Structure formats: C-alpha cells, structure tokens
C-alpha cells in the first residue's frame, strides 16, 4: 500500500448549533432525527471553499547543434522549434479571512508561476503566494485587493475533536466540480503518514480523492478543523482513509502570513528526543510505551534553562498528553512564540512540571548559504553553517555544528556521488571544515594528488569516501 497525495476539497460542516465543545454527543433518538440534513451547513460553508488552478511554463530550448551551418548543410534546418511545455496543478483551498487569505497545500502550488482561484459563485481571481511552509505542506495565498470582502471560515480547536465526531469535506475531486462528502473522525494524532515534518494528522473516512488537496474538513458548526492533504490508497482513489492537517497547526502558518513573515517561526525546545519502545518501557518499569525520552539537551537551550535532563520522559505539554516524539513536536510547535509552556516529565518515577520559554532558535552563526561550483565532489550542493535554527529547521540534532548540505541540485555531481540533504561535512582531504566559506574555498582549490577524501556525518554515523 502507499500514501498518495490527495487533492481534497474545501470547507464544510454539519449543523448550525451551539459550539461543538458545548454540545452533548448522542445517538439519533427518532426517525425524524435520522432524516436531518447537512444542507444548511453546506450552504453556509461552501462559499468559502475554492478551486485552485496553478500552471508553470517550461521553456524547451532548441539543441544548438541544429543551428550549426555544417549540420544544416547536410540535414536542413532540423525541423520546427520545440514547443514550450505547460505543467498544471489542480487543488482546493479554504478562505480563512474576509480580506481574501486562502489556505491550501504547498504541493498544489509548489514551483508554479501562475495561480488562479475560482469561487463557488464562478468568480475567478488571480492569486499571489504569500507564504509557503514545506514542513507542514501548507501555503497561504492572497486574492482580491483588500477592499472586497469574501466569505470565510472560522477556525475550530482541533484539540477538542473526539473520535467519532461527524465531519464534512468539500473540494473538487478529479476536477468534476465542488463536491461535499461526509464521514466521521476515524482517529487522531496519526504519525506515520509521511507528509511533512509535524506528524499528527486527523484521520477521516469522508471521501478524499485527487483534486481535493488543500480543501477543508469542517465540524458541525461549519468551522475549519483541518486541511485535507493525503490519502492511504492502493489505487490512488479513496478507500475511506484520509488525513487532514489539524486546524491548530494551520493557524500557526496563517498567523505568520498575516504578520508579513516569509517563513514560519516556531519555538525551539533544544533537546533530542527518542520514542519509547516496548523494551525501553519495560526497563523503566512502565506498564506500556508512551511519551518521549530525552536523549540529550543542548547547552543554553530553553530545555536546559528549564531544567530538562537527559533520561527525563516527556509526557505532556500544557496538560495535553504526549504519546511519542511526533506528538511532542506537534504540541510544542503549535505554541506561540513568547511566554512559557508547561512540559511535564517523569524523573525517577515522579512527575515534574517544568516551565519552558517559548523562544525561536538562534541563527548563530549565520547560515551563509553557498552553492558550490567548479569541479569537486560538492559541485551542485548548497551548503550552510549549522546553527540551532537551521538544525531545528532540518530536523537535525540540536548539538550539531559545522557545515551542512542544505540542498542538492538534481543531476549534479554532488547528487551522482551520493550526497544528501542533511549531511554534515566533517573533513575534506584530512582537514576539518569549520564553515561554508572554507568548504567553498577548498572546493575551488581542487583535490589533492588527483583525488578527494571526504568524511561526512549522516544519521549519527561517520562515513568516509574517496573520489
């Protein structure tokens, strides 16, 4: 089986009643109640669900040999000029403010140069990309001139969801037009979805199909509780296992867009965590695995300042349970910068509440990002100086220092030789490389006696290669 990116529809909800967290959950008690319809909530929410059409034109260049006079003497003009290739992407989105902020999946608009947003009333608007966050697979677009008011969806508290709650999903599956499906919340805090860095998805059996990515999952009050983003499928179509990014994470990205930021700043914990296996749980005297075990604490980090120690078991953030490392990452990442979070740990069998400052990771030293040219094993790699901010951004250990491979160009020498994003360069030709500038200088200087000896750290292991 495989995880298939699914384009799912925008917002929907189910009943215009009192707030969901104040409603009594109960089964239908009569035939009349079974006949109740979602139509009023659908009518309320669908105007704020949009279709997104994105395109990118790739210029296809004529082979220069075809213009060579010698070639043309024998073979003519080489035929017609190659036509440009247009790539298209179809997805859905949800309007989350009356001035035209639209949330969708980043994979819907990634690399696209032109985007248009179509409303349910057939109006279309050009869209501008305001912010993209690859770590959550979310993007925020802007439509309108700020004077026109649009229908929009309010956010619900995704932490208040319960398994079994009714939900609606709206989108444009397979491009057939706006479609509404209903279902329940099948599971919460799913962590093995493989989409984004923060794995804590809402699972639903509401039908999600290609064309619906970026669409809305809505509660009974017509409030946005998630952005649908992926399905679990063998065929690529819906089999009743869909996943949505919880609204509490979506709000973090939208808040950053509203502030004018070009990236999302999240709080830095500053400790390396590992999941608790059955063997670890048994050795710690636990009845069952759970929580996140502290494997190390970065000096000077918020975790260190709060008194977090190696061997502590993190069990909750602000009173909400933490089942694993992914659960902690999600909970902590949704806290706003500034103030404090209460992190509960078990130490020697006793619970302790520690106050951790919600501060951004420092970018010291500056990343000084450089793309290596010339002829060396690193040609085509973009490298940068590691800092706590960059380590957090790339999901690396917080104590790592040195030079990291930030990107590897497709088809480059670096890619062909096996370098990967996240590799930390330790030595080149027997000498340590302290920063990105020195790695660039060494690469331009050339190899020693016709060969290169490179040592990198990958996933905690040192790997030495000779090229």
Task: Tell me what pLDDT residue 37 has.
Answer: 84
Task: Tell me what pLDDT residue 12 has.
Answer: 32
Task: Tell me what pLDDT residue 194 has.
Answer: 60
Summarize pLDDT for 412-463 with one digit per residue, the tens.
999 999 999 999 999 998 889 999 999 999 888 776 667 899 999 998 899 9
Q: Is 159 annotated as a binding residue?
A: no
Q: Using an 8 Å Cβ cutoff, are 140 and 102 in contact?
A: yes
Structure tokens at 186: 């099948």
Q: Is 402 annotated as a binding residue?
A: no
SS3 448: strand
Task: Tell me what pLDDT residue 239 has.
Answer: 72
Is 363 within a domain?
A: no
| Domain shared by 49 and 194, yes or no | yes
Q: What are phi and psi of 191, to 5 degrees?
A: -115, -5
Task: Tell me what pLDDT residue 179 has.
Answer: 86
pLDDT band at 168 (very low <50, low <70, confident <90, very high): very high
Mutual angle of helices 325-333 and 247-258, in 10-degree steps: 40
d(CA 243, CA 110): 20
Find the CATH number of the domain harbouring 326: 2.30.42.10
DSSP tag of 366: -
| Domain shared by 162 and 59, yes or no | yes
In DSSP terms, 101 is beta-bridged to 142
pLDDT, average across residues 182-203: 79
Nearest to 290 by CA among 322, 259, 268, 264: 322
Q: Which residue blocks in 224-308 are alpha helix, DSSP H?
A: 247-258, 278-283, 302-306
Residues annotated catalytic, as ranges:
107, 137, 213
| Domain shared by 462 and 334, yes or no | no
Nearest to 136 by CA among 95, 187, 90, 195: 195
Q: Is 212 annotated as a binding residue?
A: yes
Q: Is 98 annotated as a binding residue?
A: no
ω into 379 cis (within 30 of 0): no
Nearest to 253 by CA among 152, 127, 138: 138
pLDDT band at 147 (very low <50, low <70, confident <90, very high): confident
Task: Tell me what pLDDT residue 421 has.
Answer: 94
Structure tokens at 299: 């000096």
| Domain shared by 226 and 275, yes or no | no
Domain endpoint, select from 335, 357, 379: 357
pLDDT band at 61 (very low <50, low <70, confident <90, very high): low
Task: Tell me what pLDDT residue 36 has.
Answer: 77
- Looking at the structure of the chain, the number of domains it has is 3
- What number of other Cβ atoms are within 10 A of residue 184's Cβ? 14
| Domain shared by 146 and 245, yes or no | yes
Q: Is 270 annotated as a binding residue?
A: no
Residue 19 has pLDDT above 60, yes or no: no
Alpha-carbon distances, residue 234 vs 1, 195, 204, 333 (angstroms): 5, 17, 17, 32
d(CA 307, CA 389): 21
Domain residues for 425?
370-466
Nearest to 10 by CA among 127, 133, 96: 96
| Domain shared by 27 and 139, yes or no | yes
Find the CATH number of the domain harbouring 147: 2.40.10.120
Residue 65 has pLDDT above 80, yes or no: no
Is 462 within a domain?
A: yes
401: which residues sit within 8 A by CB, 6+ positions away? 386
| Domain shared by 276 and 309, yes or no | yes
Task: Tell me what pLDDT residue 440 has.
Answer: 92
| Domain shared by 152 and 244, yes or no | yes
């Amino acid at each position: 089986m495989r995880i298939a990116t699914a384009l799912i529809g925008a917002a929907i909800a189910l009943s215009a009643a009192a707030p969901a967290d104040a409603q009594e959950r109960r089964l239908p008690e009569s035939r009349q109640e079974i006949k109740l319809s979602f139509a009023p909530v659908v009518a309320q929410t669908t105007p704020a669900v949009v279709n997104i059409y994105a395109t990118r034109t790739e210029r296809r260049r004529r082979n220069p040999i075809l213009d060579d006079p010698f070639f043309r003497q024998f073979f003519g003009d080489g035929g017609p000029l190659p036509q440009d290739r247009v790539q298209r992407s179809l997805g859905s989105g949800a309007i989350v403010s009356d001035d035209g902020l639209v949330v969708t999946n980043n994979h819907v608009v990634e690399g696209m140069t032109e985007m248009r947003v179509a409303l349910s009333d057939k109006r279309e608007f050009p869209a501008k990309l305001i912010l993209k966050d690859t770590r959550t697979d979310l993007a925020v677009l802007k439509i309108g001139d700020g004077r026109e008011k649009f229908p929009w969806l309010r956010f619900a508290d995704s932490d208040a969801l319960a398994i079994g709650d009714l939900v609606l999903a709206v989108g444009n599956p397979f491009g057939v037009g706006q479609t509404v499906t209903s279902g329940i919340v099948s599971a919460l805090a799913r962590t093995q979805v493989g989409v984004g860095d923060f794995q804590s998805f809402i699972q639903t059996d509401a039908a999600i199909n290609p064309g619906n990515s970026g669409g809305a999952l809505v509660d009974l009050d017509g409030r946005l509780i998630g952005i649908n983003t992926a399905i679990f499928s063998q065929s690529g179509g819906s089999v009743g296992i869909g996943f949505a990014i919880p609204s509490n994470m979506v709000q973090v990205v939208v808040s950053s867009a509203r502030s004018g930021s070009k990236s999302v700043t999240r709080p830095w914990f500053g400790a390396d965590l590992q999941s608790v296996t059955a063997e670890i749980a048994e050795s710690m005297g636990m009845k069952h695995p759970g929580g996140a075990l502290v494997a190390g604490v970065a000096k000077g980090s918020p975790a260190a300042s709060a008194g977090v120690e190696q061997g502590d078991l993190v069990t909750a953030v602000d009173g909400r349970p933490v089942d694993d490392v992914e659960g902690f990452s999600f909970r902590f990442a949704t806290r706003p910068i500034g103030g404090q979070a209460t992190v509960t740990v078990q130490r020697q069998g006793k619970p302790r509440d520690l106050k951790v400052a919600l501060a951004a990771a420092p970018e010291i030293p500056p990343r000084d990002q450089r793309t290596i040219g010339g002829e060396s094993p690193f040609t085509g790699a973009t490298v940068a100086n590691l800092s706590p901010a960059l380590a957090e951004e790339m999901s690396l250990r917080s104590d790592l220092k040195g030079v990291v491979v930030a990107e590897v160009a497709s088809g480059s020498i670096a890619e062909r030789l096996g370098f990967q994003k996240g590799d930390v360069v330790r030595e080149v030709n027997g000498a340590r490389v302290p920063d990105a500038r020195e790695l660039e200088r060494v690469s331009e200087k050339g190899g020693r006696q016709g060969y290169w000896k490179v040592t990198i750290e990958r996933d905690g292991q040192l790997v030495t290669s000779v090229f």
